[in-house]
Amino acid sequence: MTRKFLLPGLLLMLFTQVFGQNLKIDGYRGIWFTLGQFSEYGDKYSGGLGTYTADHIPIAIYSAKAQKTFFVYGGTTQKDERHLLIMISYYDHKKHVVPKPVVVYDKMGVDDPHDNASLSIDSNGYIWVFVSGRNTSRPGLIFKSVSPFSIDAFELIKTGEMTYPQPWWMEKDGFFYLFTKYTKGRELYWSISADGKTWSSDQKLAGMGGHYQVSNVYGGKIVSAFNYHPGGDVNKRTNLYFVQTDDLGKTWKTADGKTLQTPLSDIHCDALIRDYEAEKKLVYINDINFDKDGNPIILYVVSRYHEPGPKGDPREWTIAHWTGGKWNFSVVCESTHNYDMGSLYIEGNVWRIIGPTGAGPQKLGTGGEMELWESKNAGKSWTKVRSITSNSPRNHSYARRPLYAHPDFYAFWADGNTDKLSESKLYFTNKTGDKVWELPYDMKEEFAAPVKLKK
């Protein structure tokens, strides 16, 4: 059921209960956002941020059983409007179509994509949407699909203080949920649940003034990489930390197996893998993945200044790779903005990065042109394989890696003009980066084929 109008969040849930399905939107329209912190070279970050942030993980999941890639994004009502809708949809790999996207939750006037959602699918095929809250003013929400592998209707399961949601479904144990609470700055927590309905108490992982983290799972091992915010100041984010657990948080360890006492509070604890604060450098973490032996690899951008413009150069895309005995560091390339965010893919001896490393039409704004980089020597050196986008009217940003990424839906992102309010379209590319599809901005029928762009 498609509607031109929108209902406030609570009425939307009532509508779902009465009519048995969520509202649909007649097209894929990403949210546009500005932080509003301007300096000589523009906004701290802005543009099409439908797939923001790097700390919402995962936002897309390929299901081999359903033969679909399910994804969530921050959407909006129509062109040039800033009304955040938590949207969900899927790409049908068998039919090569997408349905009209579904509104999981109407954010009731909020325009901030910090409130975007993350995604999970349990062993029975139920789809879970973890909607981010913001500080203590807006609660986080957890929704569950009414039917397996269906986006038609969702029920609200839980509300609570939780930002930057990172849910991981562990086949034997249920959910391991990493998230942030604004207790003393942006502090890191975790909680576990066997069924998604009954949750353990929140346990603090780290509190050193604040943190941003990325996480991933390898077998039964959960890993997290994060920075810290001196004095709670996110503009001074620095240092690089790594922790892991293989017993659902009962014990946390370093990469070399040293047991850590949580919550971490010492900035020079054993979890610290590089002291960037001593080097007077800032750290913006993008992604974490594993080599063929299960060793962690972290992708992040190193900058010299928190504002956009040349004072922060060189902005280096950097790899930290644990080799079993030490951390190895290497530089992939340089780009023009602190919030140029991409994803890391590891397939045997071939490592790939997809991200906005090319200068875009708004050269010093967030994002740019999407490019594909490869390494075949464990990240020691990198080669740009191709430009995925070129001659674009708007900057592309926040290239996201689906969990269990299918070769035909390998990275997912949005675009937007970083200098002024604009429409924001959504895209995906294949594994080789030689094809790009645009999700239909306007839809008349219930299903449509994504539009293949000419290169």
| Structure-token match 């490592």, residue found | 351
Measure CA 394 to chain center.
Answer: 20
Q: Are 59 and 117 in contact (CB under 8 A)?
A: yes
Rounded Cα–Cα distance for residues 410 and 89 (Å): 16
Q: Are 377 and 11 in contact (CB under 8 A)?
A: no
Tens digit of each residue's pLDDT (9 = 90 or more) over 341-354: 999 999 999 999 99
Rounded Cα–Cα distance for residues 134 and 377 (Å): 41
Look up the pTM and report it.
Answer: 0.95
Residue 123 has a CB neighbour count (10 Å cut-off) of: 10
Tens digit of each residue's pLDDT (9 = 90 or more) over 80-130: 789 999 999 999 999 999 999 999 999 988 999 999 999 999 999 999 999
Chain length of the chain: 455
> Tokens at residue 229, please?
């915010």
Q: Are 141 and 154 in contact (CB under 8 A)?
A: no
Tens digit of each residue's pLDDT (9 = 90 or more) over 422-453: 999 999 999 999 999 999 999 999 999 999 99
Supply the pLDDT for residue 12: 53
Tens digit of each residue's pLDDT (9 = 90 or more) over 297-335: 999 999 999 999 999 999 999 999 999 999 999 999 999
| Structure-token match 């899927």, residue found | 90
Measure CA 233 to chain center.
Answer: 22
- Fold classification of 9-452 (topology level): Methylamine Dehydrogenase; Chain H (2.130.10)
Work out the average pLDDT over 226-233: 97
Supply the pLDDT for residue 2: 41
Tens digit of each residue's pLDDT (9 = 90 or more) over 19-67: 467 899 999 999 999 999 999 999 999 999 999 999 999 999 999 999 9
CA-based nearest residue to 56, from 140, 156, 149 = 140
Rounded Cα–Cα distance for residues 14 and 21 (Å): 10
Residues with Cβ < 8 Å from 247, sequence gap 6 or more?
Answer: none
Domain edges within the chain: 9-452
Flag whether pLDDT at 13 surpasses 70.
Answer: no
Q: Kindly provide the b/e burial profile for residues 162-191, where b requires at least 16 CB atoms within 10 angstroms of the residue's own CB.
A: bbbbbbbbbeeebbbbbbbbbbebbbbbbb
